[in-house]
Amino acid sequence: MRHQSLDSTNEEARRLALKGEAGPVWITAEEQTAGRGRRGRVWESQSRNLAATLLLRPVRPQAEWPQLSFVTAIAAADMAAHFLPGPVIAVKWPNDILADGRKLSGILLESAGEGVAVGVGVNLASHPDGTEFPATSMAAFGAAPNPEDALAALAGGFARWYDIWLADGFSPIRDAWLARAAGLGGRIRCRLATGERHGVFEGIDQTGALLLGEGMGRQSVIPAADIFFG
């Protein structure tokens, strides 16, 4: 479903779900007037970038649906690598895609009726300046696909990894995500709602939570945080 302008593709997915739509269906918008990211942050949706949401109702238990952010991240990273063979494409916990260490794409999962809205924003033609974590775009590397081609590659990749998740659960998704992970084995800073933690990024567990090595054999499980490298 293509739209010229929407408040948010995730909001449109929610509206469709309330009308009984179960999906799977991709929703795109040339412009978002109220796009958002994690924790209510504003997501700038500029022209010729990709703003898309997949509405679906997975057959796996609802408690496992958050794992779809990792499924989506792998698909988005594969899509970026297809169009950008030069820069290093990596996934940043919990749900960003990086190109040479700068944010290229973000993912937002939200409930939508009895299903889930999987929102994906990709900076194709442009990116915001002055963000806390530096951003970039495909155009900055000299190769910006149009939104239709980017969505086709993303949707195809998602379908492949989604089928693996349905058949085999999170374990192969976890392995594929870790193979693309930025900062694995290095020092990171985790900003939580209650403060900050520092340590070594040791991986993710079978729920997708971050494993933080804090020295002296201590390892903390971090279910949600913003992370920074170095």
The answer to whether residues 150 and 112 belong to one domain is yes
CATH of the domain at 217: 2.30.30.100
| Confidence at residue 4, expressed as pLDDT on a 0 to 100 scale | 85
CATH of the domain at 72: 3.30.930.10
Number of domains in the chain: 2
Taking the CB of residue 20, how many other CB atoms lie within 10 A of it? 8
What is the rounded distance in angstroms from the CA atom of residue 189 to the CA atom of residue 226? 8
Q: What is the pTM of this model?
A: 0.93
Q: Which domain holds residue 201?
A: 187-229
Is residue 76 within 8 Å of residue 97, measured between CB atoms?
yes
The answer to whether residues 112 and 29 belong to one domain is yes
The answer to whether residues 174 and 225 belong to one domain is no
The answer to whether residues 198 and 86 belong to one domain is no
The answer to whether residues 125 and 169 belong to one domain is yes
- pLDDT tier, 32 (very low <50, low <70, confident <90, very high otherwise): confident
Helices 170-179 and 147-168, packing angle to 10 deg: 130
Residues 108-145 have pLDDT tens digits of 999 999 999 999 999 999 999 988 899 999 999 998 89
The answer to whether residues 203 and 155 belong to one domain is no
The answer to whether residues 120 and 198 belong to one domain is no
Lookup result for tokens 């939104």: 147
What is the rounded distance in angstroms from the CA atom of residue 210 to the CA atom of residue 227? 10
| 10-14, 24-28, 40-44, 199-203: the lowest-pLDDT one | 40-44
- Of the candidates 179, 199, 214, which is a domain's last residue? 179
The structure tokens listed for 8 are: 């948010």
Residues 204-230 have pLDDT tens digits of 999 999 999 999 889 999 999 999 998
Residues 172-206 have pLDDT tens digits of 999 999 999 999 999 999 999 999 999 999 999 99
The answer to whether residues 81 and 191 belong to one domain is no
The answer to whether residues 26 and 131 belong to one domain is yes
The answer to whether residues 30 and 117 belong to one domain is yes
- Of the candidates 179, 203, 221, which is a domain's last residue? 179
Please name which of 36, 47, 38 lies closest in space to residue 5, comparing C-alpha atoms.
47
The answer to whether residues 117 and 225 belong to one domain is no
The answer to whether residues 20 and 36 belong to one domain is yes
